[in-house]
Structure 1
Amino acid sequence: MKTLILGASGQLGIELSSLFPEAIRTYSSSEVPGGVKLDVTDFQVLEDFILKVRPDVVVNATAYTDVDGCERDRERAMKVNSEAVRHVVRASRVVEAYLLHVSTDYVFDGGKGMYAETDLPDPVNYYGLSKLVGEAYALSYDDSLVVRTSGVFRHKGFPVYAYNTLRKGGEVLAFKGYYSPISGKLLAEAIKELVETRRTGVIHVAGERVSRYELALRVAEAYDLPKNVKEVDEVRGWVAKRPFDSSLDVSRARKLVSVDFYSLEENLKHMVVA
């Protein structure tokens, strides 16, 4: 099975690369050893590359995930998170490749939490909107699966920020809201299983519902650090609105995937820290 991983330099992409060692991997800025540099916003080159490689499977882990950056540079957000997906779909359809596209909990407004796959998306910021349009393009192709996830972390992300801040004696400012953080390693393992079974449609793969305040305290407990954590309504400098509770209902995925990607305790084991 010839696999193409788009976005192999990100936290998820790094973990996917270890699980698909023979995969063709692309990156845009951070170099990936043995990878191919590819600008997904150069749509003609993107399509030509997929047509030349002729993969059996395409995993699209490329995304512009800077939530405030998407608000400031909406054109880039739409190009990376939406339009590029349309061109990935066009080429995948020609070579008859199975497409797994990674999306986000931020397609929801955060009004209720524990969102199921059947709930109606309603993003509150441009990042969520651009990812929702990307989902629509992906789902226009019958042989595709959209995997929505939440708060992916590995060597970056909120849990790592909490660890680094507390270790240095600082105060963690935790947004007063909920989500479903997951380690890149466990998300990658779940994705590998889903690729092997070639599921289609939409599926949620994420961790336990938790507040960032509680999560920071759990990190402190796990690493015996001071519990200097403060819950705040918003973080200074934020441009984009955040959904209050974007947690995902993953009951369907837990029935289909054997790996324990859900428990917070298991996820925190795979946090990469110095």
Structure 2
Amino acid sequence: MRRRIYPFILGDPGLPMRALVLGGSGQLGLELREVLSNYEVVWTYSSREVPGGVKLDVRDFNSLEDLVLRTRPDVVVNAAAFTDVDGCETDRERCLKVNGEAVKHLVRAARVVEAYVVHVSTDYVFDGERGNYAEEDVPNPVNYYGLSKLVGEAYALSYDDSLVVRTSGVFRHKGYVPYALRALREGREVAAFRGYYSPISARKLAQAVHELVGQRRTGVLNVAGERVSRYDLAVKLKEMYGLPGKVREVQDVQGWKARRPFDSSLNSSRARGLISVELGLEENLEDLLKVEEVR
């Protein structure tokens, strides 16, 4: 196979440190590109053409390794993932390749260039039977998405210079939180699943990752917001901004193919002692409004 050549100047001591962001066109990736301002950022996208980025399907393992080897980043943040939980149930091959096997190849190349790796994982590695999960709790995924992310964690942790960041309900312009805000603002009814999680804005998560990269932490660390039900979150949005819509709690959501953990909330007390980023519910929801202002 012919190796691709990327137009980056390598080895120039006058350049700042380089960060490679996989999944740079996603919600977290967009924020990472902004907060990693002290790095020369190389970032990837996977589908539609995005100016400034490098097109990469992480399932093309040769190209993934090639990109790491040629750009020689000081830091790699893996924000690339197949996050469609129901889609992961029906397309398990793609799910495992993107969320699991790609991490093996990323780590293999990172070892060669001695890059520090931050791998973003999920609260869905837990079964949701009790919630408030700490880093040392034993994972037990109840769907294929969670299983594939757990495989990715194992590959990431096989490399000594890596950090697995477990997070929950990341939102920016997509996800449950923006949906609830739009629906309530338009006077519509929001059907809210009663399960619990720990939603965090992509901006807060990116800021936290930036701080942790500076500390070069390793192992597993939970970085997520406060424990809240989707119902209580929607009610909070309605009250904070005086929105006209209504909130209705539902016991289950019709049409789900994959089982969801009832309470996948994460205990982020360890991270709170390491970073300056505020992870409270109101602070996270305020970020949603800031994103809307610049769109």
Structure 1 counterpart of 2:280? 263
Distance in structure 1 (CA, Å) of the matches to 2:212 and 2:237: 29
Instruction: Please say if residues 8 and 32 of structure 1, whose CA atoms lie closer than 8 Å, have aligned partners that are also in contact.
Output: no
1:129 aligns with 2:154: no
Structure 2 counterpart of 1:233? 251
Structure 2 counterpart of 1:33? 51
Instruction: Please say if residues 217 and 227 of structure 1, whose CA atoms lie closer than 8 Å, have aligned partners that are also in contact.
Output: no
Deviations 1:4-43 (A, max 9, x none): 0000011000000001242001110144331111110000
Structure with greater Cα Rg? 2
**Alignment partner of 2:128 out of 94, 100, 110:** 110
Deviations 1:96-138 (A, max 9, x none): 1000000000000000100000000000000000000000000
- What SS does structure 1 have at the residue aligned with 2:277? coil
Distance in structure 2 (CA, Å) of the matches to 1:206 and 1:31: 31
Q: 1:1-274, aligned counterparts within 5 Å?
A: 1-21=17-37, 22-260=40-278, 262-271=279-288, 272-273=291-292
- What SS does structure 2 have at the residue aligned with 1:270? helix
Instruction: Please say if residues 9 and 30 of structure 1, whose CA atoms lie closer than 8 Å, have aligned partners that are also in contact.
Output: no
Deviation at 1:164, TM superposition (A): 1.2
Distance in structure 2 (CA, Å) of the matches to 1:33 and 1:235: 38
Instruction: Please say if residues 9 and 31 of structure 1, whose CA atoms lie closer than 8 Å, have aligned partners that are also in contact.
Output: no
**TM-score of the aligned structures, taking structure 1 as reference length:** 0.97
Distance in structure 2 (CA, Å) of the matches to 1:194 and 1:65: 23
Distance in structure 1 (CA, Å) of the matches to 2:51 and 2:285: 27
- What SS does structure 2 have at the residue aligned with 1:33? coil
**Moved segments of 4+, more than 2 Å:** 30-33
Report percent identity of matched pairs: 69
Letter in 2 for 1:263: G
In structure 1, stretches of 5+ residues that fail to align are none
Letter in 2 for 1:265: E
**TM-score of the aligned structures, taking structure 2 as reference length:** 0.91
Comparing 13-22 and 178-187, the one that deviates more: 13-22
Comparing 235-244 and 141-150, the one that deviates more: 235-244
Deviation at 1:231, TM superposition (A): 1.0
In structure 2, stretches of 5+ residues that fail to align are 1-16
Distance in structure 1 (CA, Å) of the matches to 2:66 and 2:185: 47
